[in-house]
Structure 1
Amino acid sequence: MRKTELSGKQDFQEMMMDILNPLLPHYSEGCARLNIGVTAAHYDQGAVWMEAFARPLWGLVPFHAGGGSSPEFDRIYREGLANGTDPDHPEYWGEPADYDQRFVEMAAIAYAILMQPEIYWEPLTEQGKKNLAGYLYKINEHELPDCNWIFFDVLVNIAMKKVGYPYSEECLARYLDRAEAYYLGEGWYKDGGGDQRDYYISFAIHFYSLIYAKFMDQEDPERARLYRDRACLFAKQFIYWFDEDGPSIAFGRSMTYRFAQVSFFSACLLAGVEPFPVPVMKGLITRHLRSWLERPVFDRDGILTIGYGYPNLLMAEQYNAPGSPYWCMKAFAFLALPDDHPFWSAQAGPLPQLPPQCAMEQGAMILRRYPGHVTAYAPGLYSSQEHNQMPAKYGKFAYDSKFGFSIAKSSCQLHEAAPDSMLAFCVGDYVFMRRICQEYRIEENAVYSKWSPFPGIEVETVLIPTEEGHIRKHRITSSIACEAVDGGFAVSNALGEQAVKEEKETEGLASNSWSSCSVKSRKGEGRGEVIIPSPNTNLLYPKTLIPAVRYQIREGVTELETEVRAAVFGPRPSAQPF
């Protein structure tokens, strides 16, 4: 991967093409399939091929719209769109069914038709246009999940409307109305009928809303204005998710989409929304993209891997196929900006001066900024457990931009459970943690949650951010005697980082050459320790240490208080092997 200076338009164009060019040898003869791996997702192979084919469009389309040229990709996508939607062609993507993954990928194709019809629509034959339009229309004939997926239908219908082909006015109106039921206030939506709030609010609901605002400004000016206004509100809180060096907090599902985390701000620029001065937005986007170039997220052939900070199938979702990570190309929406846009001449500016802490009532968390990193304090709120590792992705006490979070290999042993940022109960031969909260409150300086890790154990936890970390207060009502381990952040123990661990009477400490975390008992029968979790459990670092305090829990009521301190005091030595 060539590392450019990332200043002018050509720098960003080259970066985008450096990411996509390694795909070129892997397109099929008919160009409708992209074969870049052998791992499986829950959907069928036709959808796997369509997904891998479609997702690079999130970067190619704005690249072309901004004046970029890639004749080989142009040819591939003209042929692929024609062949993939031709039922008589061997590379036909297959018939969609209800809740089909193919509908997800239709959004990228609609984006291409909306933004660059002269490349992705007009060169098709009349039969090719008829096949493609007919295939896309199938999204109106099937059920969709009640979540951000409804915007896929919205994009498809406005794309067909723009090119004068049949579309469903009824579906378009119904799904736009349904999206209003997701809105919570302060710029925040929930992702569907449940309570889930995560990156899907930024890189899905807001992203698609801003595309709608850009392309439907004349036909639907009131809704377009509403979407822009909400994006401005959301940006004032979402900017807290990014630290001063560029990374943002690892939180929730779909972490393999990596730098899609910054795509909201790219979509803002695309839609003419500037919640912050252009130099601030350029700096945020630039630092974020550069931070990913410093991580081993590509394989030796330059193909994006499933994982987060490194290749890791353990944290993957059931809907992550080999082509899934290319959702990250949404980050390049800003490439569509014209050459004379101020973004290209602006110097990358620092983050604006922000209060150190932001309580997000509608976002259901408190964000706290610290030197070198940012931490989110969460109540353990999410909608369902149908996706992989949901308790780890939503149920931990704290999520951080530099420490990441860990996922469990099993609940049989503490080191396999990898209980960072969590109170883990050891009952018999198993480890139990917070799965989902029963009640929660977001206060100005505290997050309260009530939860139960195991029948007969009920916990009330209050998280209080401090200048150096946070305090955890637990009130445990238990019908059994057991042990509980209160874990801090996972500290990288990679080769060359000189990681050390200290186990004191009431405190566990782990540190390396650039960061540290300590966990200390302030109330309760606690003993300091450091857990050495199984490799590849943390999203950012393949090997870690987790400082912790082990408590004795007796029958009845037990009150505990734990202090967690975390520090980032230098840059991570990126030259070291992972």
Structure 2
Amino acid sequence: MNASAGDLLGLPPEDRTSSPYTGYTRAHWEAAADGMLDAAWKWATPGGARLDLPGPPSHSGVRSDGLEGYARTFLAAGFRVAGAGGKDPNGLLERYADGLDAGTRTPGRDDAESWPLILDHHVQGQPMVESASVALGLRLTRPWLWDRLASDVQDRAEQWLRGALRHVPAGNNWYLFPYTVAGFLESVGRGDAETARARERASELLEHWYRGDGWYADGDGRAFDHYNGWALHLYPLLDAHLAGDEKESAHHGARLREHLESFSLMFGGDGAPLHFGRSLTYRFAASAGVGLGAVTGHTPLAPGVSRRVVSGSLRYFLERGAVGNDGLLSLGWHGPHAATLQSYSGPASPYWASKAFVALLAPAEHPLWVSPEEAAPSEGPDRVLSVPAAGFLVQSTGADGVVRLHNHGSDHVRPDEGESAADEDPHYARLAYSTVTGPTSAENTADNHLSVTVGGARSARRRIRPLGSGHGDGWGWAASWHLPVFPAGPSTVPGLRVESVTVARGRHELRVHRVLGAPDG
């Protein structure tokens, strides 16, 4: 482990009897949450409404970033306290109650405490994202926080949260933010036609985005990534679980179960999730779906396998420097890493990792924590698995625990968006990803990529059109085609296309490309 992580977070000694693979128990998870929260709260404003963590601001600005610090850490505190039956040895909830009071007194005012207003996503969207974490934190801790607030503070909090119901989200998982806000308001007797509409709209879109095999597209395009586990599955199933809604739990739970059939294979033997897709600075949030499956019972995994995956992911990052000497999660992957980030990444963005602590909703006597750890799916025999809905071919090798994802179906291009090489995204455009590799500087030559060179310009892969996938006994294949686009000269060449197929068996892979319509030279 990183020399300082265990000391900084106050982790207890390893338990290799019940946790032979990771040494982590539920006590390690509680200590990790406590340590991260303690470090983050050192940067709170006097009233506690914002946690202004150090670092370069996001494009949303410092006030929004401070709200993000409050909201995302509140989510970790919510899981921590709710999972302990209301025990709050560090007085977290009093601080979050004070911050809620201070942040909602004069929302929109430019001062040290006031929260920014929730507006349309293209105007001032980030507060809408954070409203879901505030609402979920309040719902998780209702008996110990919300129910003890003065009525005027409750009213002010409701009015601020309703901004999420009255403004336009981005056309993707963002619709689950007003859904989550509405679910909280209804749970405390403040539901109405407005909350019902928000939930109906999100539910309609969620059904539209479901593509099968347990996978959702993140919007109307073909973006299949970690947002499945930490958003598209998490919000609706957790909402149904907290509400005790058996019908909705069964509906969303069946999809999560199917999702985990393939997704659980996408963690390496060292605990690493696949370095693929956007928002990777959320790190161990990648295990949130696995933890939620164990908590709700909607999982194909044995409890010991689930714990191996979630604890393996947490340990993977802690022992590789994700927590700095200041106790804060850095912007990056292991440690700071600019190539991992997006323009919306701010100092508190990594605390979306709090979603992994959903596992703490399983009490100490739950099978997740008392069953001995078992090997992760990637630690067994070599496997090759196709996921036709997403255009994925997943390949794992037990000898080294490495998992590879051959991507023939996921991109980050909206249906109404043109294909421009200037917008090439290395987190989606490559032919393959793994649990031991990641993108480097944009100045470096792209790996796992086939370029067509025309007039000295190398092509980029943007929109990916799947041609199919399948698997048999120990082998599998996936295929796609794309239109090469160029950063210089004409953006496309008439009639030019590239067809690609990957065949994998054991640790071997074969790629075949056919270039059609290439001009002379």
TM-score (norm 2): 0.85
Choose from 85, 109, 114 the match for 1:92. Answer: 114
Match among 153, 165, 179 for residue 140 of structure 1: 165
Asked whether the equivalents of residues 85 and 135 of structure 1 are also in contact (C-alpha less than 8 Å), the reply is yes
SS at match of 2:338: coil
- Distance, in Å, in 2 between the alignment partners of 1:185 and 1:354 is 26
Q: Which runs of 4+ in 1 moved over 6 A?
A: 385-389
Residues 105, 70 of structure 1: alpha-carbon distance in 2 compared, 3 angstrom cutoff: farther
Q: Does 1:29 pair with 2:63?
A: no
For 1:189, the equivalent position in structure 2 comes to 216
Check if 1:381 corresponds to 2:410: yes
Instruction: Indicate whether 1:62 and 2:79 are aligned.
Output: yes
Give the match's secondary structure for 2:497: strand
Any conservation in 1 of the 2:386–2:478 contact (CA below 8 Å)? Answer: no
Q: Is the 8 A contact 2:64 2:126 kept in 1?
A: yes
Select the residue among 303, 317, 338 that pairs with 1:278.
303
Structure 2 equivalent of residue 551 of structure 1? none
- What secondary structure, in the 3-state scheme, does the structure 2 residue paired with 1:300 have? coil
Conserved? CA contact 1:252–1:390, under 8 Å: no
Give yes or no for contact 1:448–1:463 (8 Å, CA) kept in 2. Answer: yes
Q: Report the AA paired with residue 108 of structure 1.
A: S
Determine the structure 2 residue equivalent to 1:417.
444
**Who is 2:247 aligned against?**
222
Q: Trace 1:377-456 onto structure 2 (pairs within 5 A).
A: 377-379=406-408, 381-384=410-413, 391-402=425-436, 404-409=437-442, 416-427=443-454, 430-438=457-465, 440-444=467-471, 445-451=476-482, 452-454=484-486, 455-456=492-493
Contact 1:7 1:347 in 2 (8 A): no
Could you tell me how far apart the structure 2 residues matched to 1:32 and 1:430 are? 50
Equivalent residue number for residue 19 of structure 2 = none
The equivalent of 1:358 in structure 2 is 385
Find the aligned partners of 2:403 and 2:423 in 1 and give their Cα distance: 23
User: Partner amino acid for 1:92?
Assistant: S
C-alpha separation in 1, matches of 2:274 and 2:171 = 26
* Distance 1:316-1:390 versus aligned 2 partners, 3 A rule: farther
2:163 is matched by which residue type in structure 1? K
Q: Does 1:82 align with 2:101?
A: yes
Contact 2:384 2:506 in 1 (8 A): no
Cα 1:425/1:479, change in 2 over 3 Å: closer
2:483 pairs with 1:467: no
**1:238 Cα offset (Å):** 0.9
Deviations 1:101-125 (A, max 9, x none): 1111111111122211133312321
Q: Secondary structure at the match of 2:426?
A: helix
| C-alpha distance in 2 between matches for 1:62 and 1:163 | 18
For the residue of structure 1 that corresponds to 2:503, the secondary structure is strand
Q: Which residue of 1 aligns with 2:374?
A: 349
Cα distance in 1 for residues equivalent to 2:278 and 2:182: 28
Q: Which residues of structure 2 form unaligned runs of 5+?
A: 15-22, 487-491
Which consecutive unaligned segments of at least 5 residues does structure 1 have?
410-415, 482-554, 556-578
| Number of residues of Structure 1 aligned to a counterpart in Structure 2 | 473
- 347-356 vs 13-22, which moves further: 347-356
Q: CA deviation at 1:389?
A: 6.7
**Structure 1 residues 379 and 407, CA, compared in 2 at 3 Å: closer, same or farther?**
farther
Higher strand proportion = 1
Distance 1:21 1:95 in 2: 27
**What's 1:103 paired with?**
128
- Higher Rg: 1
The structural deviation recorded for 1:467 is 2.6
Task: Mark the CA change 1:303 to 1:44 in structure 2 (over 3 Å): closer, same or farther.
Answer: same
1:206 paired with 2:233, answer yes
Aligned equivalents of 1:478, 1:16: Cα separation in 2: 56
Cα distance, 1:33 vs structure 2: 1.1
Determine the C-alpha separation between the residues in 2 that align with 1:191 and 1:75. 36
CA offsets 1:470-509 (integer angstroms, 9 cap, x no match): 112122246456xxxxxxxxxxxxxxxxxxxxxxxxxxxx
RMSD: 2.3
Q: 1:430 to 1:20 in 2, by over 3 A?
A: farther
Aligned to 2:20: none
Q: What's the offset of the Cα at 1:380?
A: 5.4
Write out per-residue CA displacement over residues 164-195 of structure 1, whole angstroms, 9 at most, x where no aligned residue. 22442222222222211111222111112112
Q: Please tell me whether the aligned partners of residues 213 and 271 of structure 1 are also in contact (alpha carbons under 8 angstroms).
A: no
Pick closer, same or farther for the CA change 1:7–1:356 going to 2, 3 Å.
same
Q: For residues 522-537 of structure 1, what are the structure 2 equivalents within 5 Å?
A: none
1:47 maps to which of 64, 71, 77: 64
The equivalent residue for 2:489 is none
Q: Secondary structure at the match of 2:286?
A: helix
Structure-2 separation of matches of 1:81 and 1:45? 18
The CA deviation at 1:304 is 1.0
Query: In the alignment, residue 65 of structure 2 is paired with which amino acid?
Result: V
Alpha-carbon distance in structure 1 between the residues aligned to 2:505 and 2:363:
45
Give the letter for the 2:511 counterpart.
R
CA shift in 2, pair 1:437/1:272, >3 Å: closer
Q: In the aligned structure 2, how far is the partner of 1:160 from the partner of 1:197?
A: 30
The 1:438–1:267 alpha-carbon spacing in structure 2 relative to 1, beyond 3 Å, is closer
> Would the alpha carbon gap of residues 123 and 217 (structure 1) be closer, same or farther in structure 2, given more than 3 Å must change?
closer
Give a deviation string over 1:201-235, Cα, whole Å, max 9, x none: 111111112212202334xx322211111111111
Residues 1:295 and 2:320 aligned together: yes
CA shift at 1:427, angstroms?
4.9
Distance 1:206 1:116 in 2: 21
TM alignment of 1:512-523, pairs within 5 A: none
- Measured in 2, the distance between the counterparts of 1:184 and 1:448 equals 18
Secondary structure class of the residue paired with 2:169: coil
Q: SS of 2:333's equivalent? A: coil
What is the CA-CA distance between 1:332 and the residue it aligns to?
A: 0.9
Identity of aligned residues (%): 24
AA aligned opposite 2:434: D
Say if 1:361 and 1:144 are closer, same or farther in 2 by CA, change over 3 A: same
Shift of 1:316: 1.0
Q: Distance in 1 between matches of 2:351 and 2:189?
A: 30
Are the aligned partners of 1:380 and 1:434 in contact in 2 as well (CA < 8 Å)?
no
Give the C-alpha shift of residue 299 in structure 1: 2.7
Relative to structure 1, the CA distance from residue 194 to residue 120 in structure 2 (aligned partners, 3 Å threshold; closer, same or farther) is farther
Alignment-mate amino acid for residue 74 of structure 1: L
CA contact (8 A) 1:87 1:94 kept: no
SS at the partner of 2:498?
strand
CA contact (8 A) 2:175 2:202 kept: yes
* Among candidates 312, 334, 340, match of residue 359 of structure 2: 334
Measure, in 2, the Cα distance between the counterparts of 1:146 and 1:242: 29
